Amino acid sequence: MTYPKELWENTRLEHKGYPIQLFHNQVLGIKPGDSMLYLHWHEHFEIILMREGHALLHIDSRPYEISPEELVVIPGGGLHVGYALSEGDIRYDCIVFNASLFNEWVHDPVHAQLVAPYLEGTLRFPVKPLEHEQHAETIIKLLDELVGEFDGKQSGYQLLVKAKLYSALTLLARRYDSQPPSNGRGPAASHLANRDRFKQLIKRLESDFQTKITVEAAARQVNLNPFHFCKQFKKLTGRTFVEYVNVCRVNEAQRLLLQTTSTIAEIAAAVGCDNPNYFTKLYKQYKGITPSEARKRPL
């Protein structure tokens, strides 16, 4: 399936011959409900290893809680977003790779039967594949060693990174090989349809701040009635439509406060708030400080 480019993140992979990258991420002093991973998608697979803190991830409309020493697997093209569940610091590693990393295996019959269906998208690993998994410690150890090799970048590290990732994927594929697609391994058509219908709308919300978009108008854009639209939007993003619009506008206001010399009234108008007093109240509701305070002490 070819997906539209709305919300697409152009994740750079280090080398075309080894299309895999490691990202260390941290968000310090976060509060419950704050965003720790913005809504986006990319064509690559992504494995998130939680190191510190607790978060709620929404992946293709479904919520998943993740805690330290747990991992989630996000398929290529999956819309994903994350919010903090606890106060404090959040740290997590992202292993992002393209299926072409294992192209030399395409003619191997065992690979074609066991691992290739997951890389090609015919089957999907459960998002939290290590729940009740007897090889969980082994898989975590392999991925931790992968991270160590990536960070150390000693001679030949690419080979070890690739080998450890393939070992982890093979163990996961072996675990689910005997189970039918009905257990959640197959792509859920309804979720894929929701994901693609909403991408253009969410892109609009994150770029067109001055136009007031009602729930009814947004529902029409994705061909749903308002009731079902609100339910699907909350599933997809983890927030109500109004909350999401407010967060988008406040985040853009924060950027303008820190990166421009525009007045607070001008910034309020730029993000669709005609009343500066309401804008100040809204900003404080989501950021905990007023716009003028934010400008005095940049985050």
CATH of the domain at 259: 1.10.10.60
Beta carbons of 253 and 281 less than 8 angstroms apart: no
The pLDDT value given to residue 135: 75
Give domain status of residue 225, yes or no: yes
Q: Where does the pLDDT of residue 103 fall: very low under 50, low under 70, confident under 90, or very high at 90 and above?
A: confident
Asked whether residue 290 carries a pLDDT value surpassing 70, the answer given is: yes
Please write the tens of the pLDDT for every residue from 204-227.
Answer: 888 899 888 999 999 999 999 998
Q: What is the pLDDT of residue 188?
A: 47
Residue 242 in any domain: the answer is yes
The pLDDT of residue 41 is 80
Distance of alpha carbon 129 from alpha carbon 131, whole angstroms: 6
Q: By C-alpha distance, which of 49, 62, 252, 54 is closest to 168?
A: 49
Q: Is residue 110 part of a domain?
A: no
d(CA 92, CA 69): 10
**Range with the lowest mean pLDDT among 86-95, 108-117, 233-242?**
233-242
Decide if 228 is inside a domain: yes
Is residue 166 assigned to a domain?
Answer: no
Helices (H), the chain: 109-114, 116-120, 136-152, 157-176, 189-205, 215-221, 226-237, 241-259, 264-270, 276-287, 291-296
Q: What residue numbers bound the domain in which 255 lies?
A: 189-296
Q: Which residues of 71-88 are buried (b: 16+ CB within 10 A; e: fewer)?
A: bbbbbbbbbbbbbbbeee
**Does some domain include residue 207?**
yes
| Residue 217: predicted pLDDT | 93
CA 214 to centroid of chain Cα atoms? 26
pLDDT of amino acid 191:
52
pLDDT at residue 85 in the model: 95
Place of tokens 């197959």: 186
- What percent of the chain stands above pLDDT 90? 49
Mean pLDDT over all residues of the chain?
85
| 223 domain residue, yes or no | yes
Contact 193, 228 (CB under 8 A): no
Please give the Cα distance from 171 to 107 (Å, whole number): 20
Tell me what pLDDT residue 2 has.
36
Model confidence at 108: pLDDT above 80: yes
Q: Which phi and psi (to 5°) does residue 33 adopt?
A: 95, -15
* Dihedral angle of Cα 272, 274, 280, 283, to the nearest 10 degrees: -10
pLDDT of the residue at 43: 81
> 183 pLDDT exceeds 90?
no
Cα dihedral 250, 253, 254, 256, rounded to 10, equals 170
What are 42-71's pLDDT values in tens digits?
Answer: 888 999 999 999 999 999 888 999 999 999
- If you average pLDDT over residues 84-98, what whole number do you get? 94
Q: pLDDT tens across 128-176, in order?
A: 988 766 778 899 999 999 999 999 999 999 999 999 999 999 999 998 8
As for how many domains the chain has, the answer is 1
pLDDT of residue 296: 81
pLDDT-derived band at 15, boundaries 50, 70, 90: low
